[in-house]
Amino acid sequence: MNIGLVVTTLGRELGLRRLLQSLAGQVTGADTIVIVAQGNLQVVKDLALEFTTIGCEIVVTTSPLGASRGRNAGVAALPAGMDYLLHFPNDTTWFPPGTIAGIREIPPAATAAALTVTDENGPKFHLPAAGTPLDRWNVWTVIEMGLVIRRSLFTRLGGFTESIGTGASTPWQSGEATDLLLRLMHARESDSFVWLPAEVAIGGVSDPHGLSNGERRRKLRSYARGFGRLLTVWHYPLFWRAAALAGGLLFGLRNRSSFQTADGWWVFVGRFEGLTGRCWGKKLSKAVDR
């Protein structure tokens, strides 16, 4: 299966360089990399020219701000008529040797899959065992850079919802992959979803990497808003919403390797805003400024 890698970026050169270096020797001429530059367009174009011998075509395009918008634009920029196996790495992602080969081993009948995403603290989520059906409870273990989906299915579902996710024009700054997979289940197309083995994994950085205390807490609150909003929009049971809200206060304690105990307060506030659809304060539309 041909791989279509779609990367949305604000133009962070160092991360993109590491990503492209990690793909050398893994991609083939039938694959395509699309980089959607929502900032520093010329820097991204120059970087793509440096990697013309990577083994596949690199397409550089641009779009309005927002990760969901960028990913949709990137898929549209892929050569027409080819049903790529899509993957959406961040510009801080890299691919250990053998990862692309592992993605290619998805069974022919599978139309979507999830792979493990790691950072300096280990896996972000431990995925269910192979053969476990995708459902509305385990769908939360699939994050954007862990999603693999055939282009034909992605297009049929309408792509990512552009009003949610990082950089969107609304306060709901997360959940675009979850929303896509919930729509997949609603369309009764989840039977062909597979969980890839844990050894098929990509590397990345933890959510608070490089952020100040204020930036980290704003990002947590913004992401928590998106989480809470999806719980309401997709009619999760009231007990589940209540547990998610209460669990927000314990977020810092449960994730002490990356966060502070007091960070749980900002997760709690964000989830409450998402669950109720009411937000307080200004500058709600962006999780981070960089």
pLDDT in tens, 225-253: 999 999 999 999 999 999 999 999 999 88
94 and 222 belong to one structural domain: no
Q: Which residues contact 148 (CB under 8 A, 6 or more apart)?
A: 85, 86, 87, 103, 106, 112, 113, 114, 115, 196
What is the helix (H) or strand (E) element at residue 149, kind and residue range? strand 147-150
Any domain includes 281: no
Residue 289 has pLDDT above 70, yes or no: no
- Split at pLDDT 50, 70, 90, the class of 287 is low
Average pLDDT over residues 139-166: 97
Span 24-33, pLDDT tens digits: 999 999 999 9
Q: Give the pLDDT of residue 288.
A: 54
Query: How far is the first Cα of the chain from the last one, in angstroms, to the nearest whole number?
Result: 34
Look at residue 257 in the predicted model and tell me its pLDDT: 79
Q: Considering the domain boundaries, does residue 285 fall inside one?
A: no
CA triplet 244, 247, 249: central angle to 5 degrees? 130
Please state, in angstroms and rounded to a whole number, the distance separating the CA atoms of residues 187 and 81. Answer: 23
DSSP 144: G
Count of helices and strands (H, E) across the chain: 10, 10
Per-residue model confidence (pLDDT) at position 208: 86
pLDDT per position as a tens digit, 64-91: 999 999 999 999 999 999 999 999 999 9
The verdict on 127 and 187 lying in the same domain is yes
The answer, yes or no, to whether residue 290 has pLDDT greater than 60, is no
Question: For residue 62, how many other CB atoms are within 10 A of its CB?
Answer: 15
Helix (H, G, I), strand (E, B) or coil at 193: strand
Q: Please choose, from the candidates 239, 229, 230, 237, the residue with its C-alpha nearest in 3D space to the C-alpha of residue 272.
A: 229
Q: Distance between CA 159 and CA 225 in Å, rounded?
A: 21
Check whether 35 has a pLDDT greater than 80: yes
pLDDT digits (tens, 9 = 90+) for 84-139: 999 999 999 999 999 999 999 999 999 999 999 999 989 999 999 999 999 999 99
Q: Residue 287: inside a domain, yes or no?
A: no
Number of domains in the chain: 2
For the cut 60, the answer to whether the pLDDT of residue 285 exceeds it is: no
185-239 residue pLDDT tens: 999 999 999 999 999 999 999 888 888 999 999 999 999 999 999 999 999 999 9
37 domain-assigned? yes
What pLDDT is stored for residue 282 in this prediction? 64
Closest CA to 147 of 156, 134, 131: 134
Alpha helix positions (H), 105-193: 151-156, 176-186
Residue 288 lies in a domain: no
Residues 228 and 252 in one domain: yes
Backbone angles phi, psi at 12, to 5 degrees: -80, 105
* Boundaries of domain holding 245: 213-276
Domain match, 157 and 192 both: yes
Mean pLDDT to the nearest integer, 33-55: 97
- Cβ–Cβ under 8 Å, residues 47 and 13: yes
For residue 207, the Cα-to-chain-centroid distance in whole angstroms is 12
Q: Give yes or no: residues 220 and 76 share one domain.
A: no
User: Would you say 92 and 11 are in contact if contact means Cβ atoms under 8 Å apart?
Assistant: no
Mean pLDDT of the chain: 94
Inter-residue contact 2 to 30 (CB < 8 Å): yes
Residue 43 lies in a domain: yes
In this predicted structure, the answer to whether residue 255 has a pLDDT above a threshold of 90 is no
Look at the alpha carbons of 266, 268, 271, 275 in this order and tell me if their dihedral is positive or negative.
negative
Do 195 and 55 belong together in one domain?
yes
